[in-house]
Structure 1
Amino acid sequence: MTAASKGNRFNLAFNIFLVTGMLVAVTITTIFKLQQPGVRTFMLLLAAFGSVMGVVNTVMSANGNILTFVFGFIDVLIGTIVYLDNGIMGNFALHAFYFLPMQFIGFWQWSKRGAKVRSGEEGAHLKARRLTGRQWAWLAAGIFIGIAALYLILLYVDGAKLAAGKIDSVDKSKILLDAVVMILNIAGQVLMSLAFMEQWYIWLLVNISSISLWSVAVINGAGSGNAAVMLIKYVFYLLNSINGLRIWLSLSKRRSL
């Protein structure tokens, strides 16, 4: 058996492990939520289906398979509907006017760079690229400015809610974490759609931040078993990010700009 063949078998087994683990986490989370009073079953199941599409999307992305944008489109579209239905207009606008169009841009960009449905040896047909020093500087500056701006906006919104008596206090650390995760997600989507290897550093940060958030919830006993399931879910996402970084480091070394 050749080294390439062994690598493909390992990657297939690892992908099955990741998908199975994340699907189990999504299923258990959905079951927990179905037990809550007043739950709207159709919308919950729709959101759960979107989560499943998101699981497949992340694994496809790690492997450089262009179908990631098909599953990503379904995931984002469902998320758009769910946010609109719940009146969460900020996330609705972000999904409808940013994440949704980026699926088409990503499909177009990956097609130009040779991505296929059946990508063979760990996405070997995709010509992944790397950021230059100047691009790194622009990315870091954009992330810093974006986090600072969003933090101030969210702080103002919560301050207004506090003044109106709608909330008891303003949690600045949570606001900062929300701003960090949101801006990193935006930056990661840009890098993903343009086939940059460095997206995986961003996704690692996003997943580590989410693990930290849910670990605190588990330690404090908030959300009971649901918090533990979410923690496990993001551990699997972190493992997928590590696998994606491994594959894309190889892709970006083999392929020139």
Structure 2
Amino acid sequence: MARYEIFNKLFNAFILIGMTIVTVVVTAIKFQDAGSGRVMLVVAAFGSLMGVLSTVFSANGRILTFLFGLIDVSIYGVMCLTGAKYGNAALHLLYFLPMQFVGYLQWRKRGASDGERVHARRLDSRKWLLFGSLFLVGLLAAYFILCALDKTEAAGVIRWLVLMDALSMMCNILGQLLLSTAYMEQWIFWIGVNIASVVMWVLTLRESPDSSYALIYVVKYSFYLLNSLNGLRIWLALSREEK
């Protein structure tokens, strides 16, 4: 158990320190070329750091995740709105934001406090089928709705940027619901969110190299991906303890 806790502390430190260093360096480099976007660049960097704190606390089952998450989702929602990521903008401002309060209350009911981790649990086979069906139906619906709304990308057989936006949107919706109700399977969806978000912001950076804040989000979600893999490992153990 001692080695387990030591590894968690070292990994958390790696994520927090690594993200801070990279964010500061990237911000400093991009700051000179950002022009009128300098304010947005700095705000995006700050929001990214708040988001990392939120995800680290979430991975460790700590209720403080919702405090830092409140700041992160507010900033990220505005950034998505300015970057024409309408699916993610609506998701963060209309769903993620109020769900920070819902999650806080639900975790308190499941034993979480300043010094105690939340009591985690797992989905049964029937709930797995329900969430899987919701994901597939929601993904298709979100993709076609966003295709109709997004006029910035040329039509094609598959509009990859829109697809990544829709994929991230659905994984976020289900991941947040499972997070708020303390289910281990949330991390499967968070891994999907982070992969889709990295791809989405890489595509944005490739198509609009002058998007000063896009590179920060590529870095942010790369660190999130590492943290979500660690979160899955921790919550597998936490949910096993509840059986």
Instruction: Compute the TM-score of the two structures, normalised by the length of structure 1.
Output: 0.80
- Tell me which of 16, 19, 22 is aligned to 1:22: 19
- For 1:201, the equivalent position in structure 2 comes to 188
Tell whether the 8 Å contact from 2:52 to 2:220 is kept in structure 1 after alignment. no
Return the alpha-carbon distance in structure 2 between the equivalents of residues 79 and 212 of structure 1.
16
Q: Provide the aligned C-alpha RMSD in A.
A: 3.0
Q: Which among 33, 36, 51 is matched to residue 33 of structure 2?
A: 36
Percentage identity across aligned positions? 45
Deviation of the 1:172 alpha carbon: 1.8
For 2:109 and 2:235, locate their aligned partners in 1 and report how far apart those are by CA, in whole Å: 17
Residue of 127, 130, 136 corresponding to 2:122: 130
* Per-residue Cα deviation, 1:180-219 (whole angstroms, up to 9, x for no partner): 111111111111111110011111222233445567789x
Instruction: Say if 1:130 and 1:198, in contact at 8 Å, map to a contact too.
Output: yes
Tell me if 1:192 matches 2:189.
Answer: no
**2:224 is equivalent to residue 254 of structure 1:** no
Any unmatched runs of 5+ in structure 1?
Answer: none
Question: Is residue 2:9 matched to residue 1:12?
Answer: yes
| Counterpart residue type for residue 43 of structure 2 | L
Q: Pairwise mapping of residues 178-257 of structure 1 onto structure 2 (< 5 A)?
A: 178-212=165-199, 223=209, 231-256=218-243
Are the counterparts in 1 of residues 48 and 72 from structure 2 also a CA contact under 8 Å?
yes
Question: For residue 114 of structure 1, what is the aligned residue in structure 2?
Answer: 111
Deviation for aligned residue 1:44: 2.8
- Alignment pair present for 1:68 and 2:60: no
Q: Decide whether the 8 Å contact of 2:87 with 2:146 is kept in 1.
A: no
Deviates more, 1:135-144 or 1:93-102: 93-102
Amino acid at match of 1:142: L
- How far is 1:157 from its partner? 2.5
Alignment-derived partner of residue 93 in structure 1: 90
What residue in structure 2 maps to residue 177 of structure 1?
164
Task: Render the CA deviation track for 1:7-63: whole Å, top value 9, x for unaligned.
Answer: 212211110011111222322332344233432433332222111110100000000
Say which SS state the counterpart of residue 59 (structure 1) adopts.
helix
Higher mean C-alpha deviation, range 78-87 or range 95-104? 78-87
Report the Cα offset of residue 173 of structure 1.
2.7
SS in 2 for 1:39: helix
Look up the match of 2:143. Answer: 151
Q: Which runs of 5+ in 2 are unaligned?
A: none
Which sits farther off after the overlay, 31-40 or 20-29? 31-40
- Displacement, 1:88? 6.5
Maintained 8 Å contact 2:88/2:169: no
Larger Rg computed on CA atoms: 1
**Whole-angstrom distance in 2 between the partners of 1:83 and 1:214:** 10
* Alpha-carbon shift at residue 94 of structure 1 (Å): 2.6
Q: How far has the Cα of 1:80 moved from its partner?
A: 4.1
Alpha-carbon contact 1:207-1:238 (below 8 Å) kept: yes
Residue aligning to 1:77:
74
C-alpha distance 92-242 of structure 1, shift in aligned 2 (>3 A): closer
CA contact (8 A) 1:29 1:230 kept: no
Pair 1:78–1:205, CA change in 2 (3 A): closer
After TM superposition, the score normalised by the length of structure 2 is 0.85
Q: What's the CA shift string for 1:136-160, capped at 9, x where partnerless?
A: 11101111111100111122234xx
| Distance change >3 Å, CA 233–CA 104, structure 1 → 2 | closer
Q: Does the 8 Å CA contact 2:44/2:216 hold for their aligned counterparts?
A: no
